[in-house]
Amino acid sequence: MVEGGMKCVKYLLFAFNLIFVIAAIGLIAAGAYVQVELKEYSDSLGSAYAGPGILLIIVGVFIFLLAFFGCCGAIKENYCLTMTFAVLLTIIFFFEIAGGIAGFVLKNKVEKEVKDSLENLITKYIVKNDTAAGKAIDKIQREFKCCGIKNYTVDYCDRHNNKVVDSCCKVKGCDTTCSPNPTFYTKNCSDGFVAWLKAKIAIIGGVGIGLAFVQVIGILFACCLARAIRKEYEVV
């Protein structure tokens, strides 16, 4: 009876770890995607914006290795390996819960820092003619269909010979003269970029918390298997 129950839990834990491996690969892929998406921004706005992608990759690699560790414990029916897996999984669980909560808490605090960074970036672009800053601003303006950080009047008309830059144009070669002009975007970029960044932080926080609760199943399976292994040793 004990042996049959142990085999059942063993296979369940093994199956869970296979799912965990797939989740880890997904996290690594998502981290790589986020890293690529934010690279051009992080080069100009600062390395802090590269953090989310790197974090996902690190967590994914660690979970992948941990899942392999758990599979070995299940296959070999080793009490120490299985309990070590359960303990490490529990530690990661608390870290992911804390990270997820911190992500949601800090989501609303990121606005001022991001807006300050963007204003500094457009100053480098217009006043100092910084090439890297120009590429980042052009990318933001094209992707978010906006013109200027505060607004196009303050950022361009007052500081750029009464003209906006080409990336403000809705179509290639539009009239960039500062006037009520339907050929270029007029909404500011700050609100759109901040909302986009907050959404990414919320997704990362949600994934962290969701994955943490899935790990509870793995912890329970590992503890049940370890208990069954111990009972078998005691019987022997």
Report, in this order, helix, strand and coil percent for the chain, each rounded to 5: 80, 0, 20
Using an 8 Å Cβ cutoff, are 37 and 204 in contact?
no
How do residues 27-75 score in pLDDT, each as one tens digit? 787 777 777 766 666 655 655 555 666 777 787 788 888 887 777 777 7
- Helices (H) and strands (E) counted in the chain, each on its own, are 7, 0
Helix (H) or strand (E) holding 16: helix 2-45
Token pair 């690699």: residue: 61
Tokens linked to 229: 């292994």
Q: How is the chain split into domains, by residue range?
A: 2-107+200-235, 111-191
Residue from 114, 182, 37, 110 nearest 122 by CA: 114
Enter the CATH code of domain 111-191. 1.10.1450.10
- pTM, entire model: 0.67
Confidence of residue 1 (pLDDT cuts 50, 70, 90): very low
How do residues 176-205 score in pLDDT, each as one tens digit? 888 777 888 888 898 888 888 777 777 777
